Amino acid sequence: MRRKRKKGKFSNFEEWEPYYREILDYFSFDRAKDEEAALMLQTLLERDDLPVLESLIRDRQVTVCGNAPCLVDELHRLKGTVLAADAASLVLEEHGVLPDAIFTDLDGATEMYEEMNENGVVLVVHAHGDNMPLLRYWVPRFRGPLVGTTQARPLEGIYNFGGFSDGDRPVFTAHALGAEEVTILGFDLDDVGVNPVKRGKLIWARKLLKLIGHEL
């Protein structure tokens, strides 16, 4: 799936918030916990490397890679800046591709993330109510470029570009930061072999991506 530049739909939190409220209701998530996690990430981050990430995206072709098994068969379509959704980065690395940025809530983090980060890969770390222990453990270990995100109201140095899962957030970010073209690989939103929570996330990914012109 490829789309030319489309103006980001969510230029401020008020435009995103109605969808966020729906997500909270759908999954019975605790907004206060999301906000607490964002504050924690803000405290843990010693730097804000959004300019580095933006320089990789603005006016460029961008490929967003999800972690579905089909990614391996689609690697020949990679072009431009490569944004990886969490563990998709490990698939890319196994096939000799170093992504430019990894979008992660850290539930798939390994020491390989540290190594890639030290080699200049931007880690876009997402805070939510269920991953505060992971934030405390991993964020201080990263020495390379870092950007913090939240699905709740953004804070100074903690951004919300729209999107919910590790897969759709990089697509929203690419549009928000001015990508010339966005290609999506490694997405299987019809996967039935997942648990109910993951299935719900796939449903929401399809709904949200449609808002910015990506029909999957």
Q: Any idea which residue has 């300019």 for tokens?
A: 51
What pLDDT does 1 receive? 54
Distances (CA, A) of 48 to 125, 144, 186, 205, 213: 11, 11, 29, 27, 29
The tens place of each residue's pLDDT in the chain, 216 residues long, gives 555 544 445 568 999 999 999 999 999 999 999 999 999 999 999 999 999 999 999 999 999 999 999 999 999 999 999 999 999 999 999 999 999 999 999 998 999 999 999 999 999 999 999 999 999 999 999 999 999 999 999 999 999 999 999 999 999 999 999 999 999 999 999 988 889 999 999 999 999 999 999 988
What pLDDT does 135 receive? 98
Closest by alpha carbon to 214, among 54, 179, 21? 179
What pLDDT does 165 receive? 93
